[in-house]
Structure 1
Amino acid sequence: MNFRQFAVHNVLRNKRIYMAHFLSSAFSVMIFFTYALLLFHPDLQGELVSSSGTLSRLGTIGMQVSEVIIFVFSFFFLLYSVGAFLKLRKKEFGILILLGMSRNQLNRMLFVENAWIGFAALAFGIGIGLIFSKLILLASARLLSIQEGLRFYVPLKAVLLTAIAFGVLFLLIASLTSIMAGKERVAELIRSEDKPKPEPAASAGLSVLAVLLLVAGYVIVFDFAINRRHTSFQQLLGGVVLAIAGTYLLFTQTSVYLLRALRGSKLFLRRTNLLTISELTYRMKDNAATFFIVAVVSAVAFTGIGTTLALGDPGLASMVNPYAYSYSAGEDQSFGAQQVKKIGDELTAAGYSYKAHAMLPLSTEGGYTVVRLSEYNQLAADLGYRAETLGGDDEMFLTPSYVWQKEDMDQAGYPPGPVELIIGNQKASPHFVKYAPRIVLPDIGYAGTAVITDRLFDKLKQGYADPLYKTYLFTVPDWHKAVGVSRELMESINNDGQNGDYLRSLSLEWLSSKQKNGILFIVSGLVGIVFFTFAASTIYFRLYADMDRDEKQYGMIAKVGLSGKELSRIMTRQLFLMFFVPLAMAFVHSTVAFVALQRLVGYSILANSLKIFGAFAAIQLAYFLVARWRTVEHLKRKIS
């Protein structure tokens, strides 16, 4: 057996602990290759199909940024995993040196081992990416709402970029193994597994500080969301940093302190709780850094994917303008009426029901825009809102026309007292009597939209000297499905600018937004999945890092009467906490982020949040059940 075969044999002999490292490396390669596949795609080099050059540039930038994120994060993750495995093999290194292996030979062996694992993962990851490349392109085309799809091509540039990038990364990791292996003496290496662990200690003050930091971080984030016009990005960053610091202290101090406090309770002496709680105290102390990393990384994954899903929701698009079509007629009112009939006929022919009513806004000299009460109530009824009333010509109410306006009015309410409305030689001073918070009259009153009685409106209109232009607003229940009809209407109406009319389509605006959000979803989704995979692999590393110690410990306890059923119960509790305590902390962080986001956008994202939490919880549960089964069965075989 030559030296290279000896190194490869070592990897195969330790395949149980190296498997997670190999699979995580291969998964990183596959995701990196996926981004490269899209980055170099011919259809994404110029314009996105049915989109604009801006979207193409955004997509290219997003892919490039994602490549860098995956590469950098993969480097640190793989460095961590290699370091964890080297610690498990210290006794083996000591024996090899005792048998005559030099330090240089040991370093060379570690280099060959890690290079072999890295290049095997590189080949496997690219191979899997190539196999599923057609499926990836189909899914990406759907997310980007590209009607014609993304054609299949031979991704030579993507393969070359991935091979070079990760080839360099794996060689760098392999070169650093000699530094991570350390320079400990032979006796210390051999006795590394037999050293007793110190008693876990925790500070009561730091335990309380952890809770205070978390609460302070959450309060700052909520304050940013509620009073965002008076805050800064630095404040948001400060809140996140405080929450992260609190999370670290929560795992390193508070969890250990609470478990130690349980030792004085009756619960500690019940059945196998003495063994369970004592072992958990050591595990929490040993795994605190791992739990912290898993919680933070998982929270980033949940928040990124959940936010992108919320941004792509049709309901968020309809917040700005709830109408499927907004047709601004020109000065020729009869021609405008013909165009309105044409829009209605096209919708009916395509099988869409609709309602359409006109709005005639007037701008006053004071900056307000006024609208008839009857027109407001007609449009409100189309949207399913209740009708409003006014007591007379001396009353008016305020309603928002923009999302930012609604947010300001929600906080400030409506201004008291009379306001003078002046149009030409006509004047009126009605009082604001209420605030209607729904956006029923979109995009008209930048300074403020006031609804007045029809009689007062007709009086003020007499002073208006400029031509009057009506806007017809269409409500369509399934507006997001009417993309084809919208394209035809936009081409036939907006391409002829002779009559001064203009048509807006909510479905086409949402489609453009969805393409942007599709890019965000691909970027944040795949990065989030990589982060979550790395987090799960980190738990795997810690689980198998403790396996040899568990075998010895439970083997000795089994000799004094520990049954297989009791072993299964103890390990289930310990593994459950290892898998779900960091996940629960990530859920809490993400929930705070989602609540703050909901406050920012004014739209419920509960459904999207539950989808993300449910999906990742199901994946983690499946992973937990498999890990529990394999761990318990392995320990039972070893101690039987």
Structure 2
Amino acid sequence: MNIREFATKNVQRNAKAYFAYFISNTISAALLFSFTMIIFHPDFNVSILPNYLKNALNMTTIIAYLFLCFFVFYSISVFLKSRYKEFGILYIIGSSKKQVQKMIRIENMIISSSAAVVGILLGVIFSKILLAASGKLLGYDALGFYIPGKAMIITLSAFIIIGIVISAFCSFIIKEDKVLSLLKGTKRPRPEPKASVVLAIICVGLLAAGYYLSITCSEDTIPYRIIPVTIMVVVATYLLFSQLSVFIIKLLKKNRRLYMKKTTVLWVSNLLYRIKDNTRMFFLITITSTVALSAIGSVYAYWRDKEDQININFPQAFFYSDTYMNKAKVDLKVGFIENSLRNDGIEYTKVNEEIKFIIPNGDKEKVVVMKDEVYKKLASALFLNSISFNENETILAVPSIGSERKSIILDNMELQVVGNSNKRMIPTFYGDVYVVKDDLYEKINGVKCYFGVLNVNNYKDTLNICNDFYSNFGDDDGDEIYKNFLKAHILESTKIGYGVLLFIAIFIGLIFFVTTGSFLYNKCYMDVIEDKKKYKQLNKIGLTYTEIKKVLNIEIGVLFLLPYIVAVIHFAFAISSLKYAFDIKITVPALQVIGTMLIAQIIYFFIIRKNYLLEIKKSLL
């Protein structure tokens, strides 16, 4: 029997031992295939997407593939370390290092290619549901079923390449002297983990500072706080598992009444070593879970709140503006829309007026100045009550959020700000809009801008009119004065944009959660080998299976749920910054995301717990 036949037989005879690694690869293959199947769907026209969305899809594919490579490498490293005894026997009976590596390479290629095929089959089986759900997210009624040949070739090729590349790194994982030393039982006893009080205090301080900066940020400060807060939380997370958790468990050990109570002494002592030994894994799972939750939660919050945000930022169905010299061009566009609305039998209100751009004394950014007469016309069209004010006063034609100005100097005239509108009068693009008395408006020097406004009861019915408008007048961005805002078109573009981003976030989130879940599965697979011996000895001296089960429930529960709980806390503060900075409704989407992931994690915990306890019970018989 040659090495190739030996490796093939080894896989066939030890299917149970290879199962965890095979499942990890299969899930990864199914996820990659599903993503590429949707991206290459004939009805999903990527070319019409903006460049930033095309780049996001390309980057997602690269990130997903690199993370899957890392995940497969981690899985095989854990799997190979669990086979040290087997490799040691092969070395003893005369196998060379080259032969062992060749055997591993063949095994890895068999598992990778088989996992790719099974993953593709799973993707095809569930493709109908997946295409329907993803089509809804991407703004399509449903993506129809098709034979995804391109996605099959890409997935199969990707996993064959992964198998080849990962096999090349096996020599760094399997070292002959280490295998033989483990086989001979020369492993030294581990010293009790130590914790630094100073580092534990630093951990608490960094978390408190990071959380405080998150919930106190504003739209202006959030760009400057993202990086320092992220660094604080990442460092604090590592210290949480390596120092603070060990410090807390050692405090529990000092409480003799609690520590010496029944099986508490056993699970507290075990947790001390488990958490310290798994610091890097806990840290990795927590950070990736936080990233996944934050990505899905924030995009989902925007996606869910998109119509409300558009209604706030764009009060009218149609808004056009240009320099006063180009008044005829604005009237032409307004006339085109008016005729279209009449042809469709849609009632509308119309306002054609002017505003001025001016830089207030002491400021750098331009603001908009509006006549009181124009303000009242716009308020009436939007069914809002207008605010009265005196000659030396002004009001803001925007909501009060983010504006604390008490006075403003316009063209060397100081005016007191005495009120704010409940709703924006013109699109949010124009920033702060100050309303002044008509005679004062004429005295203020500024750049005149002529605008036309049309409003309807249900702007969503005007999408075809918006498309006709762009067909006739073109799709240009304009500048700070020359602008076109067509609300139905903006909503449709926003749906597509956030739909693609949400699809990307969910896909990346699934990869993170599935792979981190598999990290835990592989860790349990490694631990159960040692735990069988340990609990068998404890059972002989009187520890019952019921007590063992109680201890393992706590240990496995901490292993599975501790990183997720920390990730949820990080996520809660991260997504809260959206509420305080941008006034986004985040409570419902946050709870939905957390609840969904928590249910999935608990189900996964019960499955692993059941298999783990079954293995321990068998060893006691």
Query: TM-score range with shorter-chain normalisation?
Result: 0.7 to 0.9
- Cα offset, 1:7, TM superposition: 2.5
Does the CA-based 8 Å contact 1:220-1:236 persist in structure 2?
no
What is residue 6 of structure 1 aligned with on the other side?
Answer: 6
What is residue 78 of structure 2 aligned with on the other side?
Answer: 84
- Cα offset, 1:638, TM superposition: 2.0
Does the CA-based 8 Å contact 1:30-1:126 persist in structure 2?
yes
Does the CA-based 8 Å contact 2:181-2:187 persist in structure 1?
no
What is residue 250 of structure 2 aligned with on the other side?
Answer: 260
What is residue 73 of structure 1 aligned with on the other side?
Answer: 67
- Cα offset, 1:496, TM superposition: 6.6
| Letter matched to residue 245 of structure 2 | S
2:599 is aligned, of 604, 618, 621, to 618
- Cα offset, 1:150, TM superposition: 4.4
Cα distance in 2 for partners of 1:178, 1:155 equals 37
- Cα offset, 1:66, TM superposition: 1.9
1:566 is aligned, of 547, 557, 568, to 547
Cα distance in 2 for partners of 1:280, 1:511 equals 52
- Cα offset, 1:588, TM superposition: 1.9
Mark the CA change 1:337 to 1:241 in structure 2 (over 3 Å): closer, same or farther.
closer
What is residue 396 of structure 1 aligned with on the other side?
Answer: 394
Mark the CA change 1:599 to 1:16 in structure 2 (over 3 Å): closer, same or farther.
farther
| Letter matched to residue 24 of structure 2 | S
Mark the CA change 1:514 to 1:123 in structure 2 (over 3 Å): closer, same or farther.
same
What is residue 198 of structure 2 aligned with on the other side?
Answer: 205
Does the CA-based 8 Å contact 1:396-1:450 persist in structure 2?
yes
| Letter matched to residue 474 of structure 1 | N
What is residue 278 of structure 1 aligned with on the other side?
Answer: 269
| Letter matched to residue 207 of structure 1 | A
- Cα offset, 1:346, TM superposition: 4.4
What is residue 288 of structure 2 aligned with on the other side?
Answer: 297
The normalised TM-score by structure 2 is: 0.84
| Letter matched to residue 563 of structure 1 | T
| Letter matched to residue 451 of structure 1 | V
Mark the CA change 1:335 to 1:162 in structure 2 (over 3 Å): closer, same or farther.
closer
Stretch deviating more after TM superposition (442-451 or 255-264): 442-451
The reply on whether 1:311 has 2:302 as its aligned counterpart is yes
Cα distance in 2 for partners of 1:27, 1:17 equals 17
1:288 is aligned, of 279, 283, 287, to 279
Q: Secondary structure at the match of 1:547?
A: helix
1:99 is aligned, of 83, 90, 93, to 93
Does the CA-based 8 Å contact 1:414-1:435 persist in structure 2?
no
Name stretches of at least 5 consecutive residues in structure 2 with no aligned partner. 360-365, 474-481
1:122-163 CA distance string (max 9 Å, x none): 11122223334444443333222135x545544333322222
Does the CA-based 8 Å contact 1:22-1:121 persist in structure 2?
yes
Stretch deviating more after TM superposition (511-520 or 538-547): 511-520
Does the CA-based 8 Å contact 1:398-1:414 persist in structure 2?
no
- Cα offset, 1:277, TM superposition: 0.7
| Letter matched to residue 63 of structure 1 | L
- Between the two proteins, the alignment pairs up a number of residues equal to 599
Does the CA-based 8 Å contact 1:399-1:436 persist in structure 2?
yes
Sequence identity of aligned pairs in percent? 26
Cα distance in 2 for partners of 1:365, 1:59 equals 35
- Cα offset, 1:593, TM superposition: 2.0
**RMSD over aligned Cα, in angstroms?**
3.9
Mark the CA change 1:281 to 1:338 in structure 2 (over 3 Å): closer, same or farther.
closer
1:546-587 CA distance string (max 9 Å, x none): 102211222222223323332222211111111111001111
Cα distance in 2 for partners of 1:560, 1:444 equals 74
1:533-558 CA distance string (max 9 Å, x none): 11111111111211022112222222
- Cα offset, 1:225, TM superposition: 5.0
Does the CA-based 8 Å contact 1:357-1:378 persist in structure 2?
no
Mark the CA change 1:287 to 1:468 in structure 2 (over 3 Å): closer, same or farther.
closer
1:207-240 CA distance string (max 9 Å, x none): 22222333344456567756438x65xx633432
Does the CA-based 8 Å contact 1:221-1:240 persist in structure 2?
no
Cα distance in 1 for partners of 2:85, 2:271 equals 25
What is residue 528 of structure 2 aligned with on the other side?
Answer: 547
The 5-angstrom pairing of residues 43-442 of structure 1 reads 43-44=43-44, 47=47, 52=48, 54-55=49-50, 57-146=51-140, 150=143, 152-184=145-177, 187-192=180-185, 195-218=188-211, 225=218, 227-228=220-221, 232=224, 236-265=226-255, 266-312=257-303, 313-326=306-319, 343=341, 346=344, 356=349, 358=351, 360-363=353-356, 369-371=368-370, 376=375, 387=385, 389-400=387-398, 409-410=402-403, 413-416=404-407, 419=410, 431-436=415-420, 438-442=422-426
- Cα offset, 1:15, TM superposition: 3.9
What is residue 25 of structure 2 aligned with on the other side?
Answer: 25
| Letter matched to residue 486 of structure 1 | T
Cα distance in 2 for partners of 1:634, 1:445 equals 63
Mark the CA change 1:109 to 1:462 in structure 2 (over 3 Å): closer, same or farther.
closer
Mark the CA change 1:26 to 1:393 in structure 2 (over 3 Å): closer, same or farther.
same
| Letter matched to residue 598 of structure 1 | K
Q: Secondary structure at the match of 1:363?
A: strand
1:511-541 CA distance string (max 9 Å, x none): 1122122222222221111011111111111
- Cα offset, 1:70, TM superposition: 1.7
Stretch deviating more after TM superposition (314-323 or 614-623): 314-323
Mark the CA change 1:469 to 1:285 in structure 2 (over 3 Å): closer, same or farther.
closer
Cα distance in 2 for partners of 1:14, 1:216 equals 51
Does the CA-based 8 Å contact 1:486-1:505 persist in structure 2?
no
- Cα offset, 1:278, TM superposition: 0.9
What is residue 578 of structure 1 aligned with on the other side?
Answer: 559
Name stretches of at least 5 consecutive residues in structure 1 with no aligned partner. 349-353, 422-428
Cα distance in 1 for partners of 2:53, 2:443 equals 52
| Letter matched to residue 29 of structure 2 | V
1:306-357 CA distance string (max 9 Å, x none): 2221332322333321444447897799997996697489476xxxxx9857
Does the CA-based 8 Å contact 1:91-1:191 persist in structure 2?
no
Mark the CA change 1:27 to 1:365 in structure 2 (over 3 Å): closer, same or farther.
closer
- Cα offset, 1:256, TM superposition: 1.3
Does the CA-based 8 Å contact 1:383-1:475 persist in structure 2?
no
Cα distance in 1 for partners of 2:594, 2:292 equals 11
What is residue 425 of structure 1 aligned with on the other side?
Answer: none
